[in-house]
Structure 1
Amino acid sequence: MSKMRLIPFTMQEVLQRNEEAPRGVEMIGAQTLWEEGYEGDGSVIAVIDSGCQIDHPDLEASIIDWHNFTSGSRRDVTDENGHGTHVAGTIAASLNEYGVAGVAPKSKLLILKAFDQNGETSYQTIIQAIQYATKWRGPRGERVRIISMSFGGKRDYSLLHKSIQRAVQQDILVVCAAGNEGDGNARTTERMYPGFYKEVVQVGAVNYEGQMADFTNTNDEIDLVAPGVDILSTYPGNQYARLSGTSMATPHVAGAAALLLEKGNKEFERTLTEPELFALVVKHTRDLGLSKSTEGNGLIDLRG
């Protein structure tokens, strides 16, 4: 059976210490909702990835639980790749005047390690992780409402599709990377799964000027775009790094969804359904003037 792989990323820089708000968080207007009192409190996001440094000073307060689906102890989610720790930080790094801040700094992360140090896994392992996230319950009855998946494969596998459909039926918003096989031509179609499934939120990447990232996949199932070039976030070894890829765009949208879920639940005085949360995410987009196959509904922008 073909392999599922983490979407490759480009590393610009590794830093020992950092004290700045990432430009990507600023670009999508996360601070606008922070100022209204919404920081993702009450939202649990499952991150299916290469694991995470769970004691990173910017992440330890945000992690509610973890599980390993690769070899070794089920409780060992050591990130030997770096990808998962970076994704986790973009979603939920603490707003603690140290290091970096994630989009939804008070949200909680369920870390699900499904990839080895080479960024590879099987389709069946991904299915197990999705099923685990769907059934998981926290110590106070918390449940996953968002899954972040920055990986893909070429094969359209029906059992993977069904596991995602079941998660969505349980009111879980599934956010997926579009992939980094783009050739810079918006008229070219590049498909990766699970991103291409209609049930998921497929995220492409733009740079800080709102221009199409030269690596981002384009197709007619792109839902929206987010910053994905030179993204600063947490990295193993209590470090920080700047990485590029649609893998880096995806957690911006997962974090934004957590903020909108908290706000929506309060305003409607009930728990939003997955279709309602998806509609809120789409509502908070801004047209960049790019083709629909590149930007879908536009850039996620929480100021709108």
Structure 2
Amino acid sequence: MKRFVRVIPYQINQQVNEVNEVPKGIELIQAPKIWPETKGEGVTIAVLDTGCDLDHPNLKDRIIGGKNFTDDDGGNPEIYNDYNGHGTHISGTIAASETNDGVVGVAPEANLLIVKVLNENGSGQHDWIIAGIHYAIEQRADIISMSLGGPDDNHELYEAIKLAVLNNILVVCAAGNDGDGNDRTDEFAYPGRYNEVICVGAINFERLSSDFTSSHDEIDLVAPGEEILSTYLNGEYAALSGTSMAAPHVSGALALIKVWANNYFGRELSEPELYAQLIKRTVPLGFSPKLEGNGVIYLTVLEHLEKVFDQEFVNMVLKDCSTKKSLI
């Protein structure tokens, strides 16, 4: 019996034809303040989703290739267009180009590898996703972003994710939208539950935990996930809500962190080292760790610490920052 994974359920709040702004979520995580140093140039993010609007004016210059693993278009691997909208929205939050119109992504000069593993209905077989992960590894992606999930723990999927991490690829997943507002109950979805992935929950623009965000002890951090404005089908734009919208904020943030950290340390950092750099750039919000993990991604937190406290205190804070719970 074939098991299916789907896009993490999400809500469309609004569709618009024309916009010209930096989305609020990208402002909230402080991405624009990092752009004078880096905009993610040279980093490749594989977006495993429903495909992408390849002609969207804010995305066409960011896409370096892709492949279709679904049954859309008769299974033609060369056609990875998006007929759903979810993948296009995710791609825009990660890396929409900085132009005079539309929106801009967290890492507006990063590369997008479009890996279509969910069909027009937002549904995908485990085999498609596993093949998509292997393709991302073969293409030497730096980051894999997956805003998808299902209830089944799949051994082959887990092994593919572990292989990606062994190849120094950061794997980012949405936590899920099955939350009941009670952090004492667990709502699990795979692959977000796997320890090796970076699992992202959602908050709103007031930095309050989203009612829908799933809670469990594998949440690593949170990012904006309500009324997130990004690219959409037919060159348009839409505001969507869900942990699906939170995860790409972290994928884009990792592209910025990777360029900065590699330049600062003068070498390529490993996956666990980059994870540590990510967690150092979170701020606790006061919610249960099952809801917020280490807190919200805030890219300039270290700069603020250095301005307010002496270096000895900063070093103490960094030493106490959480690191990956376990590694392969």
Same fold flag (TM > 0.5): yes
Q: Distance in 2 between matches of 1:96 and 1:265?
A: 27
SS at match of 1:263: helix
Paired with 1:2 and 1:66, the residues of 2 have a C-alpha distance of 24
Q: Structure 1: any 5+ residue segments left out of the alignment?
A: 137-142
- How much is the aligned-residue C-alpha RMSD, in angstroms? 0.7
Partner of 1:26: 27
1:144 to 138, 141, 145: 141
Shift of 1:74: 1.1
Residue by residue, what CA displacement relative to the aligned partner does 1:70-99 show, whole Å, maximum 9, x if unpaired?
123211111111000000000000111210
Aligned to 2:13: 12
Rounded to whole Å, the distance in 2 between the matches of 1:157 and 1:179 is 17
Using the size of structure 1 for normalisation, the TM-score is 0.97
Query: Going by fraction, where is helix more abundant, 1 or 2?
Result: 2
Q: Distance in 2 between matches of 1:74 and 1:158?
A: 25
Q: What CA distance in whole angstroms lies between the structure 2 residues aligned with 1:239 and 1:184?
A: 33
Q: 2:205 aligns with which of 189, 197, 208?
A: 208
Q: Secondary structure at the match of 1:126?
A: helix
Q: Which stretch has the larger CA shift, 83-92 or 119-128?
A: 119-128
Q: Does 1:172 find its partner at 2:175?
A: no
In the other structure, the counterpart of 1:69 is 69
| Distance in 2 separating the partners of 1:55 and 1:284 | 34
Shift of 1:224: 0.1
Residues 1:260 and 2:257 are matched in the alignment: yes
| 1:139 paired residue number | none
Residue 65 of structure 2 aligns to a residue whose secondary structure is: strand
Counterpart of 2:40 in structure 1 is: 40
Gaps of at least 5 residues in structure 2 are 302-328
Q: Distance in 2 between matches of 1:254 and 1:86?
A: 13
Once the 2 structures are TM-superposed, how far is the Cα of residue 269 of structure 1 from its aligned partner? Answer: 1.1
Report sequence identity in percent: 51
- Name the residue aligned to 2:187: 190
SS of 1:12's partner is strand
> Which of 152, 156, 179 pairs up with 1:155?
152
- Of 76, 98, 115 in structure 1, the residue corresponding to residue 118 of structure 2 is 115
Secondary structure of the 1:276 match is helix
Alpha-carbon distance between aligned partners in 2 of 1:209 and 1:131, rounded to the nearest angstrom: 38
Residues 206-225 of structure 1: CA distance to partner in whole angstroms, max 9, x if unpaired? 00011110100000000000
1:85-104 pair list within 5 angstroms: 85-104=88-107
User: Residue 67 of structure 2: SS of its match in structure 1?
Assistant: strand
Which one-letter code corresponds to 1:265 in the other structure? N
Quote the Cα distance in structure 2 between the aligned partners of 1:174 and 1:29: 22
- Rounded Cα–Cα distance in structure 1 between residues aligned with 2:65 and 2:276: 28
In 2: Cα distance, 1:8 partner to 1:81 partner: 12
Deviation at 1:65, TM superposition (A): 0.8
Q: Tell me the amino acid that sits aligned with residue 82 of structure 2.
A: D
Shift of 1:289: 0.7
Measure, in 1, the Cα distance between the counterparts of 2:259 and 2:64.
17
Distance in 2 of aligned mates of 1:65 and 1:269: 29
CA distance in 1, matches of 2:145, 2:261: 20
Measured after TM superposition, the shift of residue 2 of structure 1 is 2.2
Report runs of 4+ in structure 1 exceeding 3 Å deviation.
Answer: none
Q: 1:230 aligns with which of 227, 230, 247?
A: 227
Does residue 49 of the first structure (1) align with residue 49 of the second (2)? yes
Which structure has the larger Rg? 2
**Aligned residue for 2:218?**
221
Partner Cα separation in structure 1 for residue 254 and residue 147 of structure 2: 16
Deviations 1:50-75 (A, max 9, x none): 00011100001111111111123211
1:83 matched to which residue of 2? 86
